[in-house]
Amino acid sequence: MKCIINRRAQFSASHRYWLPELSEAQNIQQFGHCTRLHGHGHNYVLFISLAGELDEYGMVQNLSEVKQVIKQEVTSQLDYSYLNDVWLEFQETLPTTENIARVIWQRLAPHLPLVRIQLFEHPELWADYLGNDMEAYLTVGTHFSAAHRLALPNLSYEENCNIYGKCARPNGHGHNYHLEVTVKGEIDSRTGMIVDLVALEQVVEDYVVEPFDHTFLNKDIPYFEQVVPTAENIAIHISNLLQQPICELGAALYKVKLIESPNNSCEVYCDQLASNSVASQQSEPILMSF
């Protein structure tokens, strides 16, 4: 039986975004505060996913050996380092979150049966790399607070209560929603980015956070005058709002995850980078809720 196992590791390092072929003004315009002379640092958290058949000892890989490989090939070299100088790859392509994940894959692939590298720069920004050349995924997290009521206008209060329970109460209730937006694209061979991170965060702010935050969704967001604002419907609406502006940034919206509470969340998959035949047949996003 094939199985996937995950190993966590971490390292602390600094980096700087700066391209010598650009002027100071051009670097600042493209990278903002990340151009500061002495760089800035992060406590990186790394998840290594491995796949394989179980051996006679009931393991995919001996985790003690996996730990040593990760330490030898990655963390011992990156921990307390200045990333721009530590590996040649980061002089060719800037050490962005997505590019660090890609290079870590390259370092570990000769030794481990990798299926995914996931690297957290901080809890609201991380990258996933699956071994597909320069293709990677980047996720940004944010939040907004809003109220809603779950009720169909053509049903009585009692009928709505039978469907939605307490969520049908007339004056609604609120949530601190946590939103995760994942984009997919090609890592630029020089900047290390699949998308302008500042521009991506601004799109999410402009199209979702600013209009949704501190609202009563049923009354303040026109879309929800006719659509019940369940977590699933909110996530689908957010995905529809974001697909085009993210496409204009040069990436593709891959997933929207909306966490309504610690117990309830849903995911909408919106990948438009499939083959033309598949893309032309896919008119609706794929929804997962739990």
- Among all residues, which ones are annotated catalytic? 167, 214, 260
Angle at the Cα of 103 (from 139 to 43), degrees rounded to 5? 55
Q: How far apart are CA 182 and CA 138, in angstroms?
A: 6
Angle at the Cα of 250 (from 131 to 232), degrees rounded to 5? 80
Phi then psi dihedrals of residue 239, to 5 deg: -60, -40
- State which amino acid sits at residue 238: I
In the three-class reduction of DSSP (H, G, I as helix; E, B as strand; rest coil), residue 95 is classed as coil
Residue with tokens 């963390």: 75
Judge contact between 218 and 150, C-beta under 8 A: no
How many CB atoms neighbour CB 204 within 10 A? 23
CA dist 114 to 118, 202, 232, 289, Å?
Answer: 11, 34, 32, 28
In the three-class reduction of DSSP (H, G, I as helix; E, B as strand; rest coil), residue 118 is classed as strand
In terms of Cα–Cα distance, which of 72, 95, 71 is closest to 83?
95
Q: List the structure tokens of 245.
A: 């502006």
Residue with tokens 């990655």: 74
Phi then psi dihedrals of residue 149, to 5 deg: -130, 135
